[in-house]
Structure 1
Amino acid sequence: MPDAPAPKPASGPRRAMERLGLLRPIDLALHLPLRYEDETRLTPLRQARHGETIQFEGVVVSNHIETRRRRQLLVSLRDDAGDSVQLRFLNFYPSQQKQMAEGARLRVRGELRSGLFGREMVHPQVKPVDADTPLASALTPVYPAGAGLPQVYLRKAIAAALPRAPLDELLPAALLPRTLPPLRQALEFLHHPAPNVSLATLEDHSHPAWQRLKFEELLAQQLSQLQSKALRAQHRAPVLRGTALVERLLAALPFELTGAQRRVGEEIAADLASEHPTHRLLQGDVGSGKTVVAALAACVCIDAGWQCALMAPTELLAEQHLRKLVGWLEPLGVRVAWITGSVKGKKREALLAQAASGEAQLVVGTHAVIEDKVQFAQLGLAIVDEQHRFGVAQRLALRRKLAERGLEPHLLMMSATPIPRTLAMSYYADLEVSTLDELPPGRSPIVTKVFALAKRDEVIERIAHEIGQGKQSYWVCPLIEESEESDLQAATATHAELAELLGDDRVGLLHGRMKAEEKAAVMARFSSGELPLLVATTVIEVGVDVPNASLMVIEHAERFGLAQLHQLRGRVGRGSAASVCVLLYNGPLSESGRERLKAMAETTDGFEIARRDLAIRGPGEFMGHRQSGADLLRFADLEDDAPLLVAARALAPKLLAQHPAAAQAHVQRWLGGRAELMKA
């Protein structure tokens, strides 16, 4: 039997709908309007104001094509009160001219403007009518649409799909907030709202119909997180109990732990003693001492006879961890291996052999740690620093290192970007969260000053003064070298300029394109105090700890994100000397740029910085690759809809326990395959 012919590919509007993911009736039902047009009433021309968008009816008085400057169709229309307006069409078809013949009655919608010859409308919507043609009974929706997808086509497709979409109530009525309408009713209303509804409540999404949709997807997200957590509880992890090495480390440290560090260390130790794999997020502001907490966790793991891996996103950050961990743990007999992309040849082979045999009890490195060639004898704990910079696949690769033994390593994720409460309640609801909310004693407060670039010379004078006092400074630039596309000061040019002014032997340069050994040599000179000034790109954003550095200059600060500015500022204030962060900007500032610099000047609290950053940019960058770039919230806004999030968070465990089938169907309706992304 011959093969059936392949189906013809969709073309035109259907192809455009496929590109938007509008494949099923439910997809179309959930494709909601951006805004609405009011076609339910007519406005007499004499009552209309210039600049106002109105709908009116009139009879065509004249119709002609003018070709003086460019070819255009001019149609003069008179309404029932005798007032006239000219319709101007710069692009038109002969059929349109015929449709608007003299004597035809038209219903017109457009913006009323002042033209050279009186009032006019340019390219209005036009519809032939008679005196009995009814007006629209509902507001007209305007949908998000790509090229090749007319609004009329999309409206018809959605109107046809709505009755066929599976919108049955999945949630028991008794568990739903009483103020929310049924789902089908809410969607039908949003696609065809009554003319007497407040447009403001539709546009700001505060109408109960919008609230129902937002609650639905927040609930789906919460259910997905709880399912992910329950699934992990079925897996097994090595039981890690060990106190002797922890006690030896505490006795050897040259400082006392803060109360927050002790509390969090105990929380993590309790996790590691469980037979179920822990997923804990350790968050703390810059300088709160996360590395020593990671060292405590590593000691518990190693003391129990298992290996620990610590992975950081950059070699510089990984090397900062390595330096501290080697200093603390090697005197206690712990063998530490260093695996990054820059370690090559026989040295790399030897390190891989140490990891595979178990001789290396702690392996520190970059994403190279998760490569297939890196095998562990028995990996009990994986620590991921700056976790938002790693993707789902990378974290899953770490967890699979024990897969052949039917076990999963415990996973401790660390972040120096504090997570706002609403974000923690939604996207991180499947994680246990520990917070270092106390800075070690002796840290100096940081004063932040914002100056225009015109003050640059004065700032250089201040640095010269700091150098004379034996202090150290950073100067951060956003680019490595000059670019035709940008007028920003490049790190290389700034280094050359400052070296000439302050002395070549006093100014170092650090950027991401340098070889690992070159970076290490520069950082060693700066850390030892040999270099008073370090010109750098954002490669120093996290992990760099030089207590004697007390001045941070960030050039073109308006080009940096708020979280990034806060991280850079955190490189100073690590000693007892009063510290200053200077933000140099090139105006005029955008509104978001002004908000970022204002936030930096007003607060040094990382949680407040994070809250403002979320308000300015939304959750995308906080999430990094946790959802592989897919934003799971289409309708809800974490800042505005916190009460709905609280309600969804409270309902999710009840629904999962009492109505598991309904819970699963709800997650599938709203998230589909994207729910899998929540498990990493």
Structure 2
Amino acid sequence: MPTTRRFSQDPAGRPGAAQTTVKAASSPARQALLKLGLARDIDLALHLPLRYEDETRITPIASAREGASVQIEGVVTGSQVQLHPRRQLVVTLQDASGSCELRFFSFYPSHHKTMGVGVRLRARGEIRGGFWGRQMLHPVVKGASAELPAALTPVYPTVAQLPQAYLRRAVATALARVALPETLPAELAPPALVFDSQNGLQRPWGLRDALTFLHHPAPDVALAALEDRSHPAWQRLKAEELLAQQLSQLAARRERDQLAAPVLRPAAGAAALHEQLLAALPFQLTAAQHRVVEEIARDLAASRPMHRLLQGDVGSGKTVVAALAACVCIDAGWQCALMAPTEILAEQHFAKLIGWLQPLLADRGRGVAWLVGGQRKRERAAMLEAIADGTAALVVGTHAVIQEQVQFARLGLAVIDEQHRFGVAQRLALRKKLLHLGQEPHMLMMSATPIPRTLAMSYYADLDVSTIDELPPGRTPIVTKLIADSRKDEIVERIAAQVGAGRQVYWVCPLIEESEALDLSNATATHQELSEALPGVQVGLLHSRMPAAEKKAVMEEFKSGRMGLLVSTTVIEVGVDVPNASLMVIEHAERFGLSQLHQLRGRVGRGAAASACVLLYSTGDSGRLGETARERLKAMAETNDGFEIARRDLDIRGPGEFLGARQSGDALLRFADLAGDTGLLDWAREAAPIMLERHPELAAQHLERWLGGKSDYLKA
């Protein structure tokens, strides 16, 4: 395979050594390798098979069981192209025990010749029975002259234009060439990673031992141990991966601890901005809110940058906690930025913060700025000027906050709401932008998707985590009902009753317009249907493709109470706060994720009225829900607790998908499982600080091997 040599660090991390990389040439296969992230030899060596095929043995045709995938060998005794019922090549293969028909519905004329009568062939595929005897449909066929392989044949994850044969050669070449010196000191050897051979030999599995075995396992290995990743070779890889993940998190935290940040101490007395805000609020903070406010205040008063995740269930009051942190920052003479993933959420924050803080800031000659992509030029210019000269003490906006022309005078605190909705590249851009006069701002990231403690300790080991585990008093419990979409007429009657009683209703659809690919209700058609079914009710439509001004006008109509029913896509998932809304209908609920369903349900129950969430589901042509969809809907019906929802979501999806690959690029786990590999995880947590302190060079080599250029993602 053509390569280029780059003198920097080899895959083991030795400075000055040659690192062999895949050449970025025009070959589609090479481009496909890069698309898979297989740029270095070590990347290819760590690209492990999805499954294996056994080409090490020949099964007599008469012994092949129906439904089994086997390899047979014999002589072609018949080969003909049949035209009925459809054009197909039918080849009869005969061995000493019997015969089998090979059928090909897609073939070239040359295939008829290469599988001609008298040719000896091997065919591998699934045996099917039938009236005419044993058959294989589209088997893999090769000549019978080659020796049988000594190991199982790997089947790798791949993409279009990257054939398995090419990928197997590339992996084998890279594995033979890559340097794999051991990076684990003997004193930190992982537990229970030994050979268990028949002659009693026991020694630790090395990384090369493990990789060579997993790419080419012996045919007598227990496939179950490979598939469930309990084999010692898998254990060795999982141990190394978990150690790299813990090392990277710990190294990122230590690096950040060496940076300087502005010391933001809260002012004392009744004149302090945060005290004035507390006095002006029409509600009292919960004990959980007071606790996290104190945790954040301690971080802001330190000279190292705060890097804290604030998590809490829908409606737990994270925004007011962020506002109090902003007050501390502003009182200390610095600016605060709050970035939200959507304009609707940013507008919600802006409206709340304007109401809370603008009167207090006006007395100090400062204000709150608003920055989004669709602003008019004059308004945007005024906002940019206020941000640059420091008049804007608080800046609220979308990703527009990180655009190049935005220059802060003295930015001391950045708050990122629904941080998981931002990509890693966006969060990195924000962090780099915020560097000012040699100091790094404090960062507070908020999420309404609670992370279970074990997961937080592992995936957010580089962060401090504050949790609001208490809802404000007076929140009405939401009743959740699962209803088949065949009963949609009953729901429309319920909506009419709710609107007649002065309440308001959301109806959420998964698509904006009709799609040929997915037979789902779409917002525009549903809006028209409900408008016709509910004469006299003002029915609004909201989706992400509408102009910003139109979206704002629709939301104003709904918030004012003049609009009884709002048909929307998931654009209302977070941030929308209309206390008078008491009914949420989610159509095709089986297509939504559990966290998204919980977020949508949280748009109701925000006032004193009894509220309900109806999950309309469709069973499709099969007449039944899939297992995963059924588990999600069951969880929604059984609990309103966001932490329990998160636990079940983790069980259903697994850690990597649950976290959205930490949105994404962080060194997430490809091999290890946080739920099942707790012993190895505990070992990695204990080994990481020891390795950083006693063996820093080996730690650097280990990180380079497993992360490559991804270590910067940890700074996001």
Taking a change above 3 Å as real, the CA distance of residues 46 and 34 of structure 1, as seen in their structure-2 partners, is: same
- Looking at structure 2, the residues matched to 318 and 111 of structure 1 have their Cα atoms a distance apart, in angstroms, of 56
Amino acid at match of 1:340: V
Alpha-carbon distance, 1:458 to partner: 1.1
Alpha-carbon distance, 1:666 to partner: 0.4
Amino acid at match of 1:531: M
Amino acid at match of 2:422: F
Does 1:230 find its partner at 2:254?
yes
Does 1:272 find its partner at 2:300?
yes
Aligned to 2:715: 679
> RMSD across aligned C-alpha pairs, in angstroms?
3.2
Conservation of the 8 A alpha-carbon contact between 1:282 and 1:435:
yes
Alpha-carbon distance, 1:552 to partner: 1.0
Does 1:295 find its partner at 2:331?
no
- Looking at structure 2, the residues matched to 473 and 366 of structure 1 have their Cα atoms a distance apart, in angstroms, of 27
- Looking at structure 1, the residues matched to 81 and 500 of structure 2 have their Cα atoms a distance apart, in angstroms, of 78
Q: What does residue range 456-467 of structure 1 map to in structure 2 within 5 Å?
A: 456-467=488-499
Aligned to 1:645: 681
Moved more, 93-102 or 311-320: 93-102
Taking a change above 3 Å as real, the CA distance of residues 358 and 300 of structure 1, as seen in their structure-2 partners, is: same
Moved more, 287-296 or 315-324: 315-324
Conservation of the 8 A alpha-carbon contact between 1:289 and 1:440:
yes
- Looking at structure 2, the residues matched to 98 and 312 of structure 1 have their Cα atoms a distance apart, in angstroms, of 63
Conservation of the 8 A alpha-carbon contact between 2:190 and 2:236:
no
- Residue 368 (structure 2) aligned to one of 336, 356, 376: 336
Alpha-carbon distance, 1:299 to partner: 1.0
Aligned to 1:306: 334
Aligned to 2:188: 175
- Give the number of equivalent residue pairs: 668
Aligned to 1:315: 343
Deviations 1:340-378 (A, max 9, x none): 233324333333222222222112222222223222221
Q: What does residue range 357-506 of structure 1 map to in structure 2 within 5 Å?
A: 357-482=389-514, 488-504=520-536, 506=538
- Looking at structure 1, the residues matched to 527 and 100 of structure 2 have their Cα atoms a distance apart, in angstroms, of 66
Gaps of 5+ in 1: 1-6
Alpha-carbon distance, 1:601 to partner: 1.4
Conservation of the 8 A alpha-carbon contact between 1:226 and 1:429:
yes
Aligned to 1:667: 703
- Looking at structure 1, the residues matched to 387 and 319 of structure 2 have their Cα atoms a distance apart, in angstroms, of 21
Deviations 1:166-207 (A, max 9, x none): 222101132122212221211122122223321111122221
- Looking at structure 1, the residues matched to 670 and 108 of structure 2 have their Cα atoms a distance apart, in angstroms, of 38
Conservation of the 8 A alpha-carbon contact between 2:482 and 2:637:
yes
Deviations 1:289-348 (A, max 9, x none): 001101110111111111111111222211211222222223323522222233324333
Classify the secondary structure of the residue corresponding to 2:404.
coil
- Looking at structure 2, the residues matched to 64 and 494 of structure 1 have their Cα atoms a distance apart, in angstroms, of 57
Alpha-carbon distance, 1:245 to partner: 2.0
Taking a change above 3 Å as real, the CA distance of residues 201 and 93 of structure 1, as seen in their structure-2 partners, is: farther
Alpha-carbon distance, 1:66 to partner: 5.6
Taking a change above 3 Å as real, the CA distance of residues 511 and 581 of structure 1, as seen in their structure-2 partners, is: same
- Residue 118 (structure 1) aligned to one of 120, 123, 133: 133
Taking a change above 3 Å as real, the CA distance of residues 105 and 330 of structure 1, as seen in their structure-2 partners, is: closer
Q: What does residue range 6-25 of structure 1 map to in structure 2 within 5 Å?
A: 20=36, 22=38, 24-25=40-41
- Looking at structure 1, the residues matched to 384 and 156 of structure 2 have their Cα atoms a distance apart, in angstroms, of 56
Aligned to 1:4: none
Gaps of 5+ in 2: 1-22, 194-204
Amino acid at match of 1:678: L
Amino acid at match of 2:134: R
Aligned sequence identity (%)? 66
Does 1:351 find its partner at 2:377?
no
Moved more, 590-599 or 430-439: 590-599
Taking a change above 3 Å as real, the CA distance of residues 313 and 402 of structure 1, as seen in their structure-2 partners, is: closer
Q: What does residue range 160-309 of structure 1 map to in structure 2 within 5 Å?
A: 160-180=173-193, 181-243=205-267, 244-309=272-337
Taking a change above 3 Å as real, the CA distance of residues 530 and 643 of structure 1, as seen in their structure-2 partners, is: farther
- Looking at structure 1, the residues matched to 387 and 29 of structure 2 have their Cα atoms a distance apart, in angstroms, of 57
- Looking at structure 2, the residues matched to 169 and 613 of structure 1 have their Cα atoms a distance apart, in angstroms, of 37
- Residue 593 (structure 1) aligned to one of 625, 629, 647: 629
Taking a change above 3 Å as real, the CA distance of residues 242 and 138 of structure 1, as seen in their structure-2 partners, is: same
Alpha-carbon distance, 1:214 to partner: 1.9
Does 1:78 find its partner at 2:95?
yes
- Looking at structure 2, the residues matched to 544 and 15 of structure 1 have their Cα atoms a distance apart, in angstroms, of 43
Aligned to 2:16: none
Taking a change above 3 Å as real, the CA distance of residues 260 and 162 of structure 1, as seen in their structure-2 partners, is: same
- Residue 613 (structure 1) aligned to one of 649, 654, 657: 649
Amino acid at match of 2:241: E
Deviations 1:447-476 (A, max 9, x none): 110111222121121122223333332222
- Looking at structure 1, the residues matched to 143 and 546 of structure 2 have their Cα atoms a distance apart, in angstroms, of 70
Classify the secondary structure of the residue corresponding to 1:229.
helix
Taking a change above 3 Å as real, the CA distance of residues 201 and 508 of structure 1, as seen in their structure-2 partners, is: same
Taking a change above 3 Å as real, the CA distance of residues 121 and 517 of structure 1, as seen in their structure-2 partners, is: closer
- Looking at structure 1, the residues matched to 71 and 496 of structure 2 have their Cα atoms a distance apart, in angstroms, of 69
- Looking at structure 2, the residues matched to 370 and 538 of structure 1 have their Cα atoms a distance apart, in angstroms, of 25
Amino acid at match of 1:428: Y
Deviations 1:271-301 (A, max 9, x none): 1111111111111110000011011101111
Moved more, 632-641 or 570-579: 632-641
Amino acid at match of 1:112: I
Classify the secondary structure of the residue corresponding to 2:412.
strand
Alpha-carbon distance, 1:162 to partner: 3.2
What TM-score results when the alignment is normalised by the length of structure 2?
Answer: 0.84
Does 1:655 find its partner at 2:673?
no
Aligned to 1:3: none
Amino acid at match of 1:529: G
Taking a change above 3 Å as real, the CA distance of residues 223 and 496 of structure 1, as seen in their structure-2 partners, is: same
Amino acid at match of 1:111: E
Classify the secondary structure of the residue corresponding to 1:262.
helix
- Looking at structure 2, the residues matched to 23 and 346 of structure 1 have their Cα atoms a distance apart, in angstroms, of 47
